[in-house]
Amino acid sequence: MSKESQTEVVVQPNGADVNPFILNKRCTEHGRVLARHRREVRFRAYGIAALTTAGLFLALLLVTIVSQGSSAFFQTKIQLDIHFDEAVIDRKNSGDPDIWKKANYSKLIHTALKSRFPEAKSRSERKLLYGMISRGATGQLRTALQEDKSLLGKTKSIWLYASSDIDMAEKGKITQDGDETSRRVRDIQFSWIEELRQKGQIETGFNVLFLTAGDSREPELAGIWGSVSGSLLTLFVCILCAFPVGVGAAVYLEEFAAKNKWSDIIEVNLNNLAAVPSIVYGVLGLAVFLGAFNMPRSSAIVGGMTLALLVLPTIVITTRNSLKSVPPSIRDAAIGLGASPIQVLLHHTLPLAMPGIMTGAILSIARALGETAPLLMIGMVAFIADVPRSLSDPATALPVQVYLWADSPELGFAEKTSAAIMVLLGFLIIANALAVYLRRKFEYKW
C-alpha cells in the first residue's frame, strides 16, 4: 500500500477533506493565541491592581493627613470681661504707654476668670481655671490697649485664645471618657466649658494666627508664616544660584565642549552627583559655607546655596536632554543661512529647548522645597520664633518646621504637623502642575 493511501483522511461535516497534520497545527496555533491572550489579560489585571493599590495607599495617606490637620485651621476663643485696672497697668498714673507694655496683664485675666467662675476656691481649681486661657492672651490685651488707650480704667468683653488643651477638648480630640487622671482636661474644666458654651462665650473660628504667625512654644500660638517665609527666601537664593549656573554649564557641555574623555568623565560625575544622598550636600554646606567662609548659621542664604548644590546636577542633566531634543536640522538650517554658533544657540536652540529646561528647573526646585536633611546639617533646625526679614536673618523652612512639630509631645502640635504637611503638599502640587502646564503649552512636537 502506498504512503498516500496510508494517510488518514478526516472528513468535515461539509464534506471537505482536511489533513490531520494541518488540523493539529491549527489547533496548536489557536492554543498559543489563547495562551497569549490570557497572559495579556493577566498582565493588564496586574497593572490595574498595582495602580489601584497605589491609589488606595495615597488616598489613605491624604485622608489621614486632612482628617488630622484640618482642625488646625480653626482656633477656640473664650470671651471674658476684662477690667483694665489702672492699679495694675499704671500704678504711678504716669500715662506712659511704655510702662503699660510691662504691666501684669495675666493678673487682669485671672481676675476676670475668678469673677466668671467664683466656685473655683481651692488652689488646684484656680490653677486649672487659669490654665484654660492661653499664655498668649496677655499679648492680646497689650495690643488692645495700645490700639485704644481709652480702655484704661474700663471693662470690655474680649475674645481671648483658649489654651491648647481646651482647644482640643472643644474640637472633640479630648473627651470626658475614662479616668480624668489619664487626660489633660479635668471634669471640672469640662463643666466650665459647657457653661461657657451655654452662655455663648466660647466659639471656634478660623485660625488666622496659624497662617500669619511664626513658631511658638505654645501650640495654640504657633504658626507657619515664619517657616513659609524662610522657605521662600531659601528657594529664591537656590534659584538665583542654581538656574543660571546649571543652564550655562549644560549649554557649554552640549553645544560647545569637545567630545572627548574629559567630557565623558564630567558626564559620568554629573549622573553620580544627581544620585548622591541629600545629607551629603548638607555636610558639604556645613564644611564650606559655615566652616570655611564663616557665613551666618541657620540663615536663608546658606540654606539656599546648599540646596543649589543639591539641584545643580539635576538642572544640568535636564537642560542637556532638552537641548538634545532639538532636531539637528534646526541648527544646520541656521548655520546654512549664515548664523554664528552663538546666534544659533540664542535665537533657535535655546528658545526651542526652554520649555523642557523650565520644566526640569521647576521640578528640581520642588524637590528642594521638600528637602530637610541638608537644612538640618546647617543649623536650620533651631527654634526660630521671629519671621525672617532678610537673607542673613535666622530662619527655618517648612519641612524642618514639620520635623520640629512632629517631635513635640503636645496634641496641639500633632494637628499643626498635619496642617503644615497639607500646606507643603499644596506648594508641591502647584509646582508640579505649573511644570506640566508649561510643558504642554510651550512644547514643540517634531
pLDDT single digits (tens) 318-327: 999 999 989 9
- Residues 48 and 231: their CA atoms lie apart, in Å, by 38
pLDDT band at 22 (very low <50, low <70, confident <90, very high): low
- Residues 189 and 81: their CA atoms lie apart, in Å, by 19
Q: Please say whether the beta carbons of 160 and 75 come within 8 A.
A: no
Residue 162, classed as helix, strand or coil, is strand
Residue 261: pLDDT over 60 = yes
pLDDT single digits (tens) 180-193: 888 889 999 999 99
Average pLDDT value for residue range 28-36: 78
Residue 25: pLDDT over 80 = no
Task: For residue 181, give Cα distances in angstroms to 177, 178, 202, 422, 439.
Answer: 11, 9, 24, 33, 59
How does the average pLDDT of the chain come out, rounded?
Answer: 89
Burial of 416 per CB tally in 10 Å (0-12, 13-18, 19+): buried
pLDDT band at 314 (very low <50, low <70, confident <90, very high): very high
- Residues 102 and 175: their CA atoms lie apart, in Å, by 38
- Residues 183 and 165: their CA atoms lie apart, in Å, by 10
Q: Which residue has the higher pLDDT, 396 or 445?
A: 396
pLDDT at 23: 59
Whole-model pTM: value is 0.84
pLDDT at 112: 95
User: String of b and e for 64-81 (b: at least 16 CB within 10 Å)?
Assistant: ebeebbebbebbbbbbbe
pLDDT single digits (tens) 344-365: 999 999 999 998 899 889 989 9
Residue 107: pLDDT over 80 = yes
pLDDT at 78: 96
pLDDT at 445: 65
**Which of 9-13, 111-115, 266-270 is the least confident region?**
9-13
Residue 236: pLDDT over 80 = yes
Residue 6: pLDDT over 50 = no
pLDDT at 177: 86
pLDDT single digits (tens) 141-190: 999 998 998 898 899 999 999 999 999 999 999 998 888 888 889 999 99
Average pLDDT value for residue range 417-435: 91
